[in-house]
Structure formats: structure tokens, C-alpha cells
């Protein structure tokens, strides 16, 4: 049976997924959830596919009313989550009864939270993704009264003994800091900055209020390009660190254009892009050099942890009869997935 959420306070929330991976070949940015780890975890905690649509909540408070019984999870930056007025935990599945209001308030220490609903959310797609694109004006706009359809309902799950927490899934939550350390590898044009390239690792940079999903703008001592030759526009990766002016450093994020004409000093790692997604204006950032093998190993370790979480969730949900058969065969399939 299907259900829905009625938006009561949209704040600055959008419906998104992990990104438009077919977009760059057509000149469109990948976009998608800026904190990919938190978004993946939210969907796994509700037994959805990792790339299913979910709600990305940025900075401002958010409220929505459930029209049916639902199962949700909220991940991302520390915040206050209430369901029907009772305070609930982040980073674990939470039951919502029909008529109850889900409220996300007081996002602190970071900038973004992710709300996933078991059965996912129905949203229009472009090139296989529902991720908003502000340049071409695509995306599901949320406003007061918007109804988000979900494909499944879940009867309330409550711990019968003193309402103790029901789930202990063993996921290590990311750390959130006002002074994050961002790991980067050498960019293809690092040699053009000569000795000034080391300023990147000896400077504390401040996040500008002009930062957005396209890129983070950082104030501080800037490396200077030593050569004066023209830089032809070419493809640039998500995470590219550029010096487009004498006023600020720019770290391109998932909304970046696929080509640019500035030298790329460094490239932020996948895990550090998640950290940058949680950087608020005024936060201070320092950079640390790493290698491609080290960055790859860190990313793979994070993905292994999420796969372990999925196996645990599949087993627990099968025992509870959520989204799968509660038979022995179903349990064995979940345990071996």
C-alpha cells in the first residue's frame, strides 16, 4: 500500500538522489546529494536502493506530515529530530504513525541532513536521475502543501519494554567539525604554481557565504600561478581546487560545470567532498596532501562499512517482516546478501 508525506515547512529542502551520472557526457553536471555517504546511509537504513530519491535538507528547519504509517531515517549533520513531538535518534530507522509530523530542527556542526522513507519517494527524472539542476531549471520544487508519494507503508515498530531504542545497527557516524581537514591529491597543473603551491597546506581558509552546490569559495592566502600561458577550457573533475581570482580559492562540487579554463591545483578526495558538503559559512578549513592509493583505500573502507550496514539491516528487517518475507528462506537470503 502506498503512502505520502505532506510538506508543512519546506525550508531549503530538495528531492534528490546520488546524481545524474549520464549528465556529463551531455554537458550537464552530475549534481545529486552533496554528502554522498550520509545519503547512502539514509537509504540503506530504510532498506532502499542507495540511489533511490530522498530529501536533502540544507540549513533551515523542515516539517512534513505522514498520511500513512511510514518508516524513515535521518542522517547527516547533528540536529533535533522529532516525530509526533517525541525526540528520536538520527542514523537509525524510526517509525512514523499516520498523522504524525516529522520535524527536523537546529542543524548544527554541519549544513545538510538526509531524510529517507522506506519505499522511496516518487519524483520526475531526467537522464535517469531526479537530482535538481538549477542551470536548466529541472527538479521537484517543494512548497507548503506539496505531497510526496511513497510506494510502501510500514506498521509502527516499538520496543515493548520502556520504549528503549529498538535498533543497534553498529554504524560509525561521521565526525562533524567547525574546522574540518580536507584531503587532496595533486592536481594536473600543480607544477604551474611552483613553490607557492605549498600555501595550500600551510593556510587556514574560511568558507565564504557565497559558497553553494556548485563550489565552495574559500578566503585565505592563495597560491599563485607562475606561468602566464593561456589555459584552454577542458574537462574538470568534481573536487577540483582552482584559483580563479586573487581573492579566493574555489573547490568545485557536484553542481560544477563539466568544463573550465582555470589550472587545477589539487583535487579533493571522495570522502573529503562529503566533509565539504557539511561546511558552513564561517567554518575554517585546512588541507592535507594524500595519494590516490590512500584516497582509494579510504573510499573503499567507507563503502565496505555501508555494505556491512546493509547486510545487518536486511537481516533485521527480514526478522521484522519489513519489505521482505519473514520466512526462513527470506532470512537466509537477507543474511547472505
Q: What percent of the chain has pLDDT over 70?
A: 92
d(CA 240, CA 187): 8
Mean pLDDT of 258-284: 94
Query: Which of the four pLDDT bands, split at 50, 70 and 90, describes residue 330?
Result: very low
Q: How many CA atoms lie within 13 A of 240 on its CB side?
A: 24
Query: Which of the four pLDDT bands, split at 50, 70 and 90, describes residue 23?
Result: very high
d(CA 330, CA 315): 9
User: Quick check: helix, strand or coil at residue 56?
Assistant: strand
d(CA 35, CA 118): 20
Contacts of 139 (CB under 8 A, 6+ apart): 14, 15, 16, 130, 131, 132, 133
Above 90 in pLDDT, residue 256?
yes
Mean pLDDT of 188-194: 93
Q: Is the Cα dihedral 121, 122, 128, 129 positive or negative?
A: negative
Of the candidate ranges 44-58, 262-276, 312-326, the one whose mean pLDDT is the lowest: 312-326
Count, residues in the chain: 337
Above 60 in pLDDT, residue 163?
no
For 222, the grid coordinates are 592563495
Q: pLDDT by residue (tens digit) across 71-122?
A: 999 999 999 999 999 999 999 999 999 999 999 999 998 999 999 999 999 9
Note the pLDDT of residue 140. 94
Helices marked H in the chain — which ranges?
Answer: 36-45, 199-202, 270-277, 292-320, 328-336
* Of 329 and 205, the one with more pLDDT: 205
d(CA 304, CA 267): 23
Above 70 in pLDDT, residue 254?
yes
CB 280 within 8 A of CB 207: yes
pTM for the model: 0.91
Contacts of range 259-263, beta carbons closer than 8 Å, 24 or more positions apart: 259/233, 259/234, 259/235, 260/233, 260/234, 260/236, 261/231, 261/232, 261/233, 261/234, 262/231, 263/187, 263/189, 263/192, 263/193, 263/225, 263/231
Note the pLDDT of residue 147. 97
E strand or H helix at 251: strand 249-252
d(CA 37, CA 51): 11
Note the pLDDT of residue 215. 95
Neighbouring CB atoms inside 10 A of 136's CB total 11
Above 50 in pLDDT, residue 323?
yes
Note the pLDDT of residue 156. 78
Neighbouring CB atoms inside 10 A of 244's CB total 14
Neighbouring CB atoms inside 10 A of 26's CB total 9
Amino acid at each position: 500500500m502506498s503512502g505520502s508525506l505532506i510538506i508543512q515547512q519546506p525550508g531549503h529542502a530538495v528531492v534528490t538522489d546520488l546524481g545524474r551520472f549520464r549528465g556529463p557526457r551531455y554537458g550537464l553536471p552530475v549534481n545529486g546529494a552533496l554528502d554522498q555517504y550520509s545519503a547512502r546511509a539514509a537509504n540503506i537504513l530504510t532498506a532502499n536502493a542507495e540511489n533511490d530519491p530522498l530529501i536533502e535538507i540544507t540549513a533551515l528547519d523542515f516539517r512534513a506530515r505522514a498520511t500513512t504509517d511510514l518508516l524513515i531515517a535521518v542522517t547527516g549533520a547533528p540536529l533535533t529530530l522529532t516525530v509526533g513531538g517525541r525526540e528520536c535518534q538520527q542514523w537509525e530507522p524510526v517509525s512514523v504513525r499516520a498523522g504524525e509530523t516529522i520535524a527536523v530542527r537546529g542543524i548544527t556542526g554541519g549544513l545538510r541532513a538526509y531524510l529517507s522513507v522506506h519505499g522511496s519517494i516518487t519524483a520526475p527524472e531526467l537522464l535517469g536521475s531526479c537530482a535538481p539542476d538549477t542551470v536548466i531549471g529541472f527538479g521537484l520544487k517543494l512548497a507548503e502543501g506539496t505531497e510526496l508519494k511513497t510506494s510502501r507503508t510500514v506498521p509502527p515498530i516499538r520496543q515493548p519494554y520502556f520504549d528503549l531504542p529498538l535498533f543497534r545497527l553498529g554504524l560509525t557516524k561521521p565526525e562533524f567539525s567547525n574546522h574540518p581537514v580536507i584531503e587532496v591529491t595533486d592536481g594536473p597543473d600543480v607544477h604551474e604554481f611552483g613553490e607557492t603551491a605549498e600555501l595550500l597546506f600551510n593556510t587556514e581558509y574560511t568558507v565564504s557565504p557565497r559558497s553553494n552546490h556548485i563550489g565552495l569559495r574559500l578566503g585565505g592566502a592563495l597560491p599563485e600561478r607562475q606561468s602566464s600561458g593561456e589555459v584552454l577550457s577542458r574537462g574538470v573533475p568534481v573536487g577540483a581546487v582552482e584559483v580563479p581570482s586573487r581573492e579566493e580559492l574555489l573547490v568545485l562540487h557536484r553542481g560544477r560545470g563539466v568544463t573550465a579554463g582555470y589550472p587545477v591545483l589539487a583535487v579533493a578526495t571522495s570522502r573529503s567532498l562529503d566533509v565539504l558538503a557539511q561546511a558552513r559559512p564561517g567554518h575554517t578549513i585546512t588541507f592535507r596532501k594524500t595519494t590516490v592509493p590512500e584516497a582509494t583505500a579510504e573510499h573503499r573502507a567507507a563503502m565496505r562499512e555501508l555494505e556491512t550496514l546493509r547486510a545487518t539491516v536486511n537481516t533485521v528487517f527480514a526478522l521484522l517482516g519489513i519489505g521482505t518475507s519473514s520466512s526462513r528462506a527470506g532470512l537466509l537470503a537477507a543474511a547472505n546478501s
